[in-house]
Amino acid sequence: MVDRKSCLLLKFLSAGLAVFLLFFPVLAQDVDDPNPDSPTPVLLSAPDSTRALTALPSKMTRGSRFKSEPTAFALDSQITLYVTNVELMKDEGASAFRLYAEDSRGRMYRFPVLDFQPVKGFDGVYALTVKVRDEIGFWQQPSENGDILVNVTWRGLTSNRVKLGLGKTGGDLKDEAGATPTPLSGVPYNKSSQTPTSEAVGYRWSGDRIRFLEQATFGPTPALDNRIRRIGLRTWLTEQFEMPYPSVANPYPDIPLKPTTAPTDCDNNQTIPDVPVTCARDVYSMYLPQTWFYKEALYGDPQLRHRVSWALSQVWVISGVDTQQSSWLVAYHQQLSKNAFGNWRQLMYDVTMNPAMGNYLDMIRSTRTNPNENYPREILQLFNVGLFMLNQDGTLQRDGQGNPIETYTQNDINNFTKVFTGWRDCNIAASCPNLVQGSGAPDYKDPMLLNPNNHDLTAKTLLAYPGSTTTNIAACTGCTGAAITNYANNSVNQALDNIYNHPNVAPFASKLLIQHLVTSDPTPAYVGRVAAVFNANRTNGAQLKEVVKAILLDPEARGNIKTDPTYGKLREPVQLMTNLYRQLGVTSADGAGLSDGDINRFPSGLAQNAFNAPTVFNYYPPDYVVPGTSLLGPEFAIFNTGTAIGRANLGNSLIFGQINVALPNTPNGTRLYLAELQAIAAADTTSNQLLDVLNQRLMHGRMSSQMRARIITATNAVASTTPLARAQAALYLVFTSSQYQVQR
């Protein structure tokens, strides 16, 4: 039986799919996706306790009772722990592992992993060398007053925890319940402790399918889940890379340019009201791009490009807060989405010349005599290079004193500022297809043009860094007219090359994209693998396609189960909402049509007002550390007591309420589709099936038995005669739980 909602969805999708199949009839082939599961690392302990094994016997004598004396270690000492049950890729080593420690006060530390080597004579055993010193610094260093518990994490999986004496052994800290020794004599441990579901073909790992779709789309749908089960991840990615964007059924809003002094009479016909009455809303507010964006997120086929463009829009930020007309922002988003699977250097150029960015960060009004440092600073600090020199795995380089090394100085900013002077809005009919002369509306869609009189002609010095080539731009002496234009264009390209070739760009961009798509605090190894792909494709027009593929197919992203306590990311408000809508289905308020996309009120109330970021620093900073922890968690910057309850209340609004029709802004309204869950609740009054479905669709099948039992009790407190209310209660509890708010 095909229900009504699926019909609607099908109609919407088929339009796009038809076009797609016309052009790419033979691409969809099954590609064999490997088992995504990495083995779970094991930290070896003494034979008879959970105390860490910190020295090996002189040779491997299986079954012998090698006994390690309890040893304590001093702060700042180097110690070796032993890890087994890992399978390394080429070049995978110390940077793929992290060692976390917890003390008796519940404080969390991270010790730097210095080395990771196979141990000769002990097959499958690796020596992990760490320095006993917290490298995060949220807390002071741990006290040398007894045992701490340590665990090693790798590819989103955690080992068992073993005890380590700090200063002395013993103390208040007890083993975790159920902890057992993991002695050397037990090697080899099970390669994989996980049992993937057994399905015959395609991509069988149901938990990872959901995880993958959370990373690559605005939320899994049963249809997409089925499709990936059938064709696998790689084929789906290929389809996505080639798909037209945006969906045929949802073209970019085509909004006319209007004068920058907003007239009271928006349609300019000298009478009030405007025709249509929504003229001012459409032109001068972000309503149209927002509703377009949400419709594409909820229903569109080219999900991956939409998702990556959304990520890019949170790196290369412009905002409706300072962008007067929605048409400017749409033209800007078109540049981002065009380059989402393209080349980073091209993206740099297109954004630099885009008038909406020119307006937002003031390049459009920066002149030789009155220069403006805004864009030059941010193209370095926020978009490409960052403040400090990075290693290729994204970790900080340090000088002899252990301090980070700054990437540029104010003097560098001054020089880049000169390069970016003299551009203005596009004003020559021949070069500016969107310009309507005589309309009084400046052209903020087409790339900016140079006003040669305003360009700085003096010499400039660019960034010097290891491997930098041309770092000087000579003065343009005696230049006039076209010579200046040529000079300015060449200078900008030289400056952009100088930035693009900075060794920071690959790890900087890679880490940001990983954070937006997969996990907030990726290991250096993961960043390094993606950065290597970025670098290997520097001149490839499809560089970012390779980068996105590398991000999504990395073993740290993939896996049916993720157990690392530090893995995952807090769902940002936009995706918190769209994931629920997509996973269960979303219709118009009357259930007969599609949502109109007028749903920004929800994330907006949770500090994420789409296309209206408060500043160029986006809704949240990428380096935000979760209070009380040693973890990066950008989205936590907008998670506080107020928004935490706001998220619960979002659940209440979505699940128990709907957005009703209200003209003119809400022509259709929006409603979450609950009939399917209702039917399941009606069919099984124990609520077990209901929880099975919620667990599989929302929690990767990893809901704890404790959580499940607690939700079943509360669900069954609702009368079985009201199955919709039961479905709502159970869904509310899953959706509002921290376990769901964190995408793992």
Partner 1 sequence: MKESRREFLIKSSCALTMTALATQMRHFGLMSAMAQKVDEQTTDSAVPSDYRAMVCIFLAGGNDSNNMVIPNHSDATISNYQTYFNARNTQGLALAQASLLPIAVPRMGGLAYGLHPSFGTVAGGTNPGIHPLWADGKLAVVTNVGTLVRPTTKAQYQTASHPKPYQLYSHSDQVNQFQGGRSDTQTFTGWGGRISDLRTVPDNPNDLIPMITSIAGAQLFTAGQTTLPLAIANAGTSLSAVLNPAGFNTTAASQARLSAFNDLRGMDLDSSVVQAASNVTNQAIAANASLQTFQEVTTAFPTSGIGQQLKQIARLIKKRGDLGVNRQIFFAQIGGFDTHNLQINNQATLLGQLSQAMRAFYDEMVLLGLGDKVTQFTMSDFNRTFNPASSGANVGSDHAWGGHHFVLGGGITASDFYGIATASNGTPFPTMTFNGPDDADSGTGARGRWIPTTSIEQYAATLSRWYGLPDADLPTVFPKIANFTNTNLGFMQPPAV
Site string for partner 1, 214-253 (x = CB under 8 A): ----------------------------------------
- The least CB distance from residue 728 to partner 1, in Å, is 9
397 scored as a contact of partner 1 (CB under 8 A): no
Residues 546-605 that bind partner 1 (CB under 8 A): 565-570
Distance CA 271, CA 275 (A): 9
Distance CA 744, CA 739 (A): 9
Q: Which is nearer to partner 1, 74 or 709 (by Cβ)?
A: 709
Among 410, 477, 539, 721, binds partner 1 (CB under 8 A): 410
Residues 6 or more apart whose Cβ sits within 8 Å of residue 343 = 539, 540, 541, 542, 543, 544
Residue 671's alpha-carbon distances to 11, 400, 605, in angstroms, are 18, 60, 18
Residues 161-220 that bind partner 1 (CB under 8 A): 177
638 scored as a contact of partner 1 (CB under 8 A): yes
Q: Which is nearer to partner 1, 298 or 733 (by Cβ)?
A: 733
Window contacting partner 1 (CB under 8 A); options: 61-69, 282-290, 364-372, 666-674: 364-372
Among 334, 381, 493, 689, binds partner 1 (CB under 8 A): 381
Residue 649's alpha-carbon distances to 576, 603, 656, 658, 678, in angstroms, are 12, 11, 10, 13, 21
Find, among 250, 291, 241, the residue nearest to 13 by Cα.
250
Distance CA 248, CA 295 (A): 12
Among 309, 629, 658, 695, binds partner 1 (CB under 8 A): 629
641 scored as a contact of partner 1 (CB under 8 A): yes
- The least CB distance from residue 656 to partner 1, in Å, is 5
Distance CA 301, CA 297 (A): 9
732 scored as a contact of partner 1 (CB under 8 A): yes
CA angle 170, 173, 179 (to 5 degrees): 100
Cβ contact 472:511 at 8 Å: no
- The least CB distance from residue 648 to partner 1, in Å, is 5
Among 4, 11, 67, 105, binds partner 1 (CB under 8 A): 105
- The least CB distance from residue 695 to partner 1, in Å, is 13
Window contacting partner 1 (CB under 8 A); options: 24-32, 46-54, 231-239, 625-633: 625-633
Residues 254-283 that bind partner 1 (CB under 8 A): none
Among 617, 675, 682, 720, binds partner 1 (CB under 8 A): 617
Distance CA 225, CA 245 (A): 21
637 scored as a contact of partner 1 (CB under 8 A): yes
- Cα-to-chain-centroid distance, residue 132: 31
- The least CB distance from residue 360 to partner 1, in Å, is 10
Among 406, 433, 592, 664, binds partner 1 (CB under 8 A): 406
What's the DSSP call for residue 637? G
- Hey, what are 554's tokens? 């990395």
Residue 44 half-sphere exposure toward CB, CA atoms < 13 A: 30
Helix ranges restricted to H, 243-354:
279-284, 287-299, 303-313, 326-338, 344-353
Look-up of token digits 């880490």? 511
Residues 653-672 that bind partner 1 (CB under 8 A): 653, 656
Q: Which is nearer to partner 1, 8 or 449 (by Cβ)?
A: 449
Helix (H/G/I), strand (E/B), else coil: 124: coil
Among 367, 395, 493, 689, binds partner 1 (CB under 8 A): 367
Q: Which is nearer to partner 1, 512 or 544 (by Cβ)?
A: 512
Residues 505-534 that bind partner 1 (CB under 8 A): 520
Among 238, 374, 583, 658, binds partner 1 (CB under 8 A): 374
